[in-house]
Amino acid sequence: MTTTAPGTVRTARTEQTRAAIVAAAHDAFVTRGYRATSLRDIAAAAGISHPGLLRHFATKDELLAAVVDLFERDNETELLERMAAEDPGALAYSELARRNETVPGYLALFAALTGEASTPRHPAHEIMRDRYARLRELSIDAIDEAITQDIVAADRDPAGEAVRIAAAWDGLQLLAQYLPERVDIGETLETYEASLALPVGWRDADDPPPASTAAPVPPMPSFASTVPTSPPRAAGASRGASGRGGPAAPSGYRVGRERRALIVDGATALFAEEGYGDTSLRDIAERVGVSKSTLLHYFASKEELLSAVLSHRDQQIESRADYVPADRAVEELRGLPRGATVNAATAPGLIEVYAVLSCEAVPADHPAHAYFEERFRGVVDHFAALFRAAQEDGDLPSHRDPGFEALWLTALWDGLQYQWLYDRSSVDVAAQLTAHLDDVLPR
């Protein structure tokens, strides 16, 4: 009779329990939603006690990371297998995206984790940062092989394309949550995969030369990150600056204005660190150093404070002193990376709160969902108008579809910002945007 060492038994039993917890968490997150599911709910579904669950996963964030990390490792395995398959050099992004869409709840869960874990204090931050590093390495190898097999053009930069494809893929997964009728992730990735067969900046010989007179440049909406339009009113937002009934208080009360600004800054920082759902008004009051009753004097509800945070963020982004309207649509598009540079240098906190809230607001009942849906719709439409004008001017090659380019650019920019939040020393958002636009809009 063979005897198994006690430590081995405990290890196997531990892994079985962890696997059962992760499976129960996945089912609960899909059926109830991440925010509406408690650790006690998951413990009951897994058939263990709440303290027993906490011995394996200290927080719900850690458990969400384990659920999504399981899917991501499956993706990497499949990508490796595809690279060694009978069809060497074929890119597998679109196939993997289509498989992900068949997994119930996967896209919503991944969208939630991408933004929430972007703050270094989050327990899943290291997992996600390592995930990006692994995906870049695998993609570089896949694109190198595709170049060898003449499937991808020889002048493509594997390292740069690996960063940009991963970023756009992340952005598309988020966009699909807000604009499902406009985003087909698998089809969009497949279109981009096919475009890699063309040399960088390729233009058909029959394309007309740039026009001598430019088409009208669509006016730029207010921008926050890549996304325009003003925030909608949250509940209670019509109550005026004081948060109480009646018209807004007259300006000129310096102490009141400064305290209000201090509260908005504190809420912005906490929403970026902890998310909106896990931050209470008491948390914000303590961060700012005021009582909860004092905070409620300025903001009658957390939803009203959320609206103020989003409005403040828009105002900060809109006030860029370096922005000068361009005469041609192509120059307006080529100037976008300058905004990314300024944002990263002067307002990293605004990028952080945008990343967290845009992912957290995926559920339709979140108070900021309609705000982000409107913003995503607006930016895609604005970019499409710019690309159409550039094509009329002869600056966008005829084989490029303005609608596709607008969707890809929106997804790419947001995805690059996520990667930058996880690895600021390795990801240059402006440089990656410039490389992409140089390909799409050859000089």
pLDDT for 192:
97
**At what angle are helices 402-422 and 429-440 packed, to 10 degrees?**
160
Q: Residues with Cβ < 8 Å from 45, sequence gap 6 or more? A: 24, 27, 28
pLDDT for 252:
47
Residues of the chain with pLDDT under 50: 1-8, 223-252
pLDDT for 106:
79
- Longest alpha-carbon distance in the chain: 89
pLDDT for 317:
67
Q: Which ranges of 149-203 does DSSP label H, i.e. alpha helix? A: 158-178, 185-195
For the record, the structure tokens of 120 come out as: 């270094």
CA pair distance 317, 230, nearest whole angstrom? 12
Cβ atoms of residues 275 and 360 within 8 Å: yes
Angle at 4 between CA 24 and CA 2, to 5 degrees: 130
CA pair distance 406, 419, nearest whole angstrom? 20
Q: What is the pLDDT of residues 285-320, one digit of tens each?
A: 999 999 999 999 999 998 899 988 988 887 776 665
For the record, the structure tokens of 50 come out as: 């709440």
Cβ atoms of residues 185 and 373 within 8 Å: no
pLDDT for 342:
83
Q: Residues with Cβ < 8 Å from 386, sequence gap 6 or more? A: 217, 218, 329, 332, 333, 406
CA pair distance 29, 263, nearest whole angstrom? 32
pLDDT for 236:
36
pLDDT for 320:
58
Cβ atoms of residues 207 and 398 within 8 Å: yes
pLDDT for 84:
62
